[in-house]
């Protein structure tokens, strides 16, 4: 009775890029859940459609009534049934009628409302009482590619992980210390640097990919030595954005270099070895599972090779990746797949096959904090959610609050 859905409200709100997105409220007899959906800029081609053709306005005018008339009276605890109903209402394979962002915001708001109906935080409702591990934050310190303007490095995300931090607060503040140090190092390389930042709060300098890698490494070492924590560099190449299928090459405009698939494997391998990369995401085009497999075979014992655009949180694509050994990590973004239950199925398959799940934000975010709860509930050892910026710290600060609530908190373990 407590968790029966009494009302569904959908509204148009702003995201961090100034674009419209949907926020959903689910009201139960004894609870309330609110979730806003994010949006990507470097999206995988197999992601579900974010919105119907008419955009967010169509969701507000047409879709809200359709959804609320079906969901009112259902029990928010029956999430898989509710996700099936949403899929039926939509009637397509990719949520192009109601929008994957609408579906995922409803799905996650339903879970939050169910948790709230029993006065539980979401991570505990989904993950159970014994959860006590906090994920390490992958902090974004320098932005390039589709998350930055022209003359920025081509590599999309330069990230850092404080792998020996003892608690989440130490981890988060280690990441921002690297972010701050990097600004000073950039100023030495780029005399015209204005302090500009990209979509995810990393700096956007006019420097080469090589220089960016060098100062990323230097900032990790310097801050690591100063505060006594091992901080490792990581990358998201978002290489589908670099791949030019007409010439079959990865085009690095900032460096004026193109690389074919074989050269790309050698390039990425060399970066991993030279800089001791902890984690490398999307080093190849989303369709190049063979490239992923070759790199994983060569360096997968010392570096996480992570698929984002290649897997799009889809369990069938992950199953293909597992069969081909195309990576040892998967990015988990609920809005790529459109429901919380489908997201969970993908996480489960990953864990059963020793593939590390990394719960992630999108480049266009809101102040929604739900993914912090999902990372804890799923026991994901890593969360990628930036280092600074209001929409990024919403998740990081929530992790600080969650850690405070746990009985015997510890940082996550890597297998
Ligand atoms: C967060 C990312 O970017 P976007 O949201 O633009 O896909 C990413 O590629 O991992
Ligand atoms: Mg990515």
What domains are defined for the chain?
4-119 (3.30.390.10), 133-411 (3.20.20.120)
Averaged over 109-137, what is the pLDDT? 97
pLDDT value, residue 1:
72
Whether 362 lines ligand 1, by a CB cut-off of 6 Å, is: yes
Q: Ligand nearest 283 Cα, by number?
A: 2
Q: How far apart are CA 203 and CA 149, in angstroms?
A: 11
Phi, psi angle pair for 257, to nearest 5°: -130, 140
Question: Would you say residue 217 has pLDDT above 80?
Answer: yes
Annotated binding-site ranges for (2R)-2-phosphoglycerate: 156, 333, 362-363, 384
pLDDT, average across residues 104-121: 98
Catalytic status, residue 200: yes
Question: What pLDDT, on a 0 to 100 scale, did the predictor assign at position 63?
Answer: 87
Stretch 301-316: mean pLDDT:
98
Residues 177 and 229: beta-carbon distance below 8 Å:
no
Percent of the chain whose pLDDT exceeds 90: 98
Using the atom order of ligand 1, give the atom closest to the CA of residue 39: 5
Ligand lying closest to the C-alpha of residue 384:
1
For 162-193, write each residue's pLDDT tens digit.
999 999 999 999 999 999 999 999 999 999 99
- Mutating to test ligand 1, I would choose from 42, 138, 306 the residue with most ligand atoms within 8 A of its C-beta, which is 42
Q: What are phi and psi of 59, to 5 degrees?
A: -60, -45
Q: Rounded to whole angstroms, how far apart are CA atoms 152 and 145?
A: 7
pLDDT per residue as tens digits for the range 89-100: 999 999 999 999
Give every CB contact of residue 142 below 8 A, 6+ residues apart in sequence: 153, 157, 158, 182, 186, 202, 203, 204, 205, 212, 216
Q: What is the pLDDT of residue 42?
A: 93
Tell me, using a 6 A CB cutoff, whether residue 236 lines ligand 1: yes
Tell me the pLDDT tens digit for each residue of 148-157.
Answer: 999 999 999 9
34: Cα separation from own chain's centroid = 19
Contact 395, 372 (CB under 8 A): yes
Q: Is 405 a catalytic residue?
A: no
- For the cut 90, the answer to whether the pLDDT of residue 385 exceeds it is yes
Using one digit for the tens of pLDDT, what is the confidence trace for 67-97? 999 999 999 999 999 999 999 999 999 999 9
User: Which atom of ligand 1 lies at the shortest distance from residue 361's CA?
Assistant: 1
| 124 CA distance to ligand 2 middle (Å) | 28
- Mutation test residue for ligand 1: of 17, 48, 139, 156, the one with most atoms within 8 Å of CB: 156
pLDDT at 206: 98
Assess whether pLDDT exceeds 70 at residue 415. Answer: no
pLDDT digits (tens, 9 = 90+) for 10-63: 999 999 999 999 999 999 999 999 999 999 999 999 999 999 999 999 999 888
Helical pair 390-405 and 168-189, crossing angle rounded to 10 deg: 150
CA of 201 to the centre of ligand 1 (A): 13
Choose, from 112, 131, 333, 395, the residue flagged as catalytic.
333
pLDDT at 142: 98
First to last CA, the chain: 41
Q: What pLDDT is stored for residue 355 in this prediction? A: 98
Cα distances (Å, whole numbers) of residue 186 to 144, 158, 177, 181, 189: 14, 13, 14, 9, 5
Q: Is the CB of 219 under 6 A from ligand 1?
A: no
- The active-site residue out of 200, 365, 398, 403 is 200
Please determine, for residue 404, whether its predicted confidence score (pLDDT) is greater than 80.
Answer: yes
Distance from Cα 356 to the centre of ligand 2, integer Å: 15
pLDDT score, position 302: 97
Please write down the HEC assignment for all residues of the chain: CCCEEEEEEEEEEECCCCCEEEEEEEEECCCEEEEECCECCCCCCCCCCCCCCCCHHHHHHHHHHHHHHHHCCCECCCHHHHHHHHHHHHCCCCCCCCCHHHHHHHHHHHHHHHHHHCCCCHHHHHHCCCCCEECEEEEEEEECHHHCCCCCCCCCEEEEECCCCCCHHHHHHHHHHHHHHHHHHHHHHCCCCCCCECCCCCECCCCCHHHHHHHHHHHHHHHHHHHCCCCEEEEECCHHHCEECCCCEEEECCCCEEECHHHHHHHHHHHHHHHCCCEEECCCCCCCHHHHHHHHHHHCCCCEEEECCCCCCCHHHHHHHHHHCCCCEEEECHHHHCCHHHHHHHHHHHHHCCCEEEEECCCECCCCCHHHHHHHHCCCCEEECCCCCHHHHHHHHHHHHHHHHCCCCEECCCC
- The ligand 1 atom at the shortest distance from the C-alpha of residue 146 is 6
Residue with the nearest Cα to atom 1 of ligand 1? 362
Distance in Å, CA 175 to ligand 1 centroid? 19
Pocket of ligand 1 contains residue 308 by CB under 6 Å: yes
Q: Is the pLDDT of residue 300 over 80?
A: yes
The rounded Å distance from CA 186 to ligand 1 centre is 23
Q: Is the ipTM of this complex over 0.90?
A: yes
């Amino acid at each position: 009775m407590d968790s029966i859905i009494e009302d569904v409200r959908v509204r148009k709100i702003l995201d961090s890029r100034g674009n419209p997105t949907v926020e959903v409220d689910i009201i139960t007899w004894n609870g309330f859940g609110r979730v806003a959906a994010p949006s990507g800029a470097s999206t995988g081609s197999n992601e579900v459609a974010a919105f119907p053709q008419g955009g967010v306005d169509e969701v507000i005018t047409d879709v809200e009534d359709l959804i609320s008339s079906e969901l009112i009276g259902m029990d928010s605890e029956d999430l898989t049934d509710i996700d099936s109903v949403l899929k039926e209402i939509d009637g397509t394979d990719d949520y192009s009628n109601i929008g994957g962002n609408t579906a995922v915001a409803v799905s996650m708001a339903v879970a939050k409302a169910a948790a709230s109906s029993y006065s539980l935080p979401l991570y505990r409702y989904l993950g159970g009482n014994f959860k006590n591990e906090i994920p390490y934050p992958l902090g974004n310190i320098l932005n390039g590619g589709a998350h930055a303007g022209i003359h920025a490095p081509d590599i999309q995300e330069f990230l850092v992980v404080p792998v020996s931090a003892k608690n989440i607060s130490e981890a988060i503040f280690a990441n921002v210390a690297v972010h701050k140090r990097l600004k000073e190092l950039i100023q030495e390389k780029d005399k015209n640097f204005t302090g500009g930042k990209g979509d995810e709060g990393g700096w956007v300098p006019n420097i080469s990919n090589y220089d960016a890698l060098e100062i990323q490494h230097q900032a990790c070492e310097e801050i690591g030595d100063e505060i006594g924590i091992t901080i490792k560099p990581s990358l998201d190449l978002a290489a589908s954005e670099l791949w030019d299928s007409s010439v079959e090459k990865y085009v690095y405009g900032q460096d004026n270099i193109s690389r074919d698939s074989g050269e790309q494997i050698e390039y990425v391998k060399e970066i991993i070895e030279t800089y001791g990369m902890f984690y490398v995401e999307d080093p190849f085009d989303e369709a190049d599972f063979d490239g992923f497999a070759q790199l994983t075979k060569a360096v997968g014992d010392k570096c996480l090779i992570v698929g984002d655009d290649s897997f799009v949180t889809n369990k069938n694509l992950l199953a293909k990746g597992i069969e081909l050994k195309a990576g040892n990590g998967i990015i988990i973004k609920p809005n790529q797949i459109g429901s919380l239950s489908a997201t969970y199925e993908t996480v489960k398959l990953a864990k059963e096959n020793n593939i590390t799940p990394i719960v992630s934000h999108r480049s266009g975010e809101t102040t929604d904090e739900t993914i912090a709860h999902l990372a804890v509930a799923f026991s994901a050892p890593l969360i990628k959610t930036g280092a600074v910026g209001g929409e990024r710290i919403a998740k990081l600060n929530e992790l600080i609050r969650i850690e405070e609530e746990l009985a015997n908190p510890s940082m996550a373990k890597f297998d």
